[in-house]
Amino acid sequence: MDRAPSIAAIGIIGRSNNPLHIALFPATGSTDSQYTAERDQLEYHMMLNSCLDIFEARIPSKTVGHDFGLLHALDERIAMYGWLLNTDIKLVIVVDMEGRQARSPEEAKLGVLGLKNSDLTPAFQALQTAYVNLLRNPFYVPDDHDPKTAKQKGNMQIESPRFIKEVDRIGKVWFPGMTAI
């Protein structure tokens, strides 16, 4: 059966380049171990970390908009896309071009032709909305998740169940060509 693109990982990176939340999504819909193996968390941490240099290099020339587009393609299967929020929070989506079984022959063609930056816009907009909703929570203090301003050491990742659930939902429902999540 033909394969189609899916989200492999979503990273929310803080303004001090610290990971706030990383969600991994396994490839699905095949009996072939090449497609169904669990994703290695350390490997994806390193991939997300490698994007930070690209953000830093592009920020001086970026004048308008959040979309940083394709940050880099690691191979013919894995590509990383980025957005920068007004609060300097970085959103990174890692796409696996063969991450799930295609629902139709047209969807399978997308894996061969590649993605347009606009294919990920609904996912980035939904992530931005989820983060804004998190900021509206009176019990969430953004400075507690920044190593430069935190009053205590330790885990600085986002632990809000609602936010984590929404990020997981976005990663699971996205497919190329959708207009809204």
Q: Which CATH number characterizes residue 161's domain? A: 3.30.450.70
Q: Which one has a higher pLDDT value, 160 or 112?
A: 160
- 7: in domain: yes
DSSP 4: E
Q: Which one has a higher pLDDT value, 43 or 149?
A: 43
- 180: in domain: no
- 179: in domain: no
Within 8 A by CB and 6+ apart from 62, the residues are 68, 84
What amino acid is encoded at 3 in this protein?
Answer: R
Distance, CA of 164 to CA of 157 (rounded, Å) = 11
Which tens digits make up the pLDDT trace of 24-66? 998 765 555 555 456 678 888 898 999 999 988 888 776 667 8
Contact 131, 89 (CB under 8 A): yes
pTM of the model: 0.86
Domain of residue 138, residue span: 3-173
Number of domains in the chain: 1
Q: What is the mean pLDDT of the chain?
A: 83
Distance, CA of 50 to CA of 37 (rounded, Å) = 23
- 55: in domain: yes
DSSP code per residue over 81-135:
EEEE-TTS-EEEEEEEEEEEE-SSHHHHHHHHH---GGGGHHHHHHHHHHHHHHH
pLDDT of residue 4: 81
Distance, CA of 52 to CA of 119 (rounded, Å) = 22
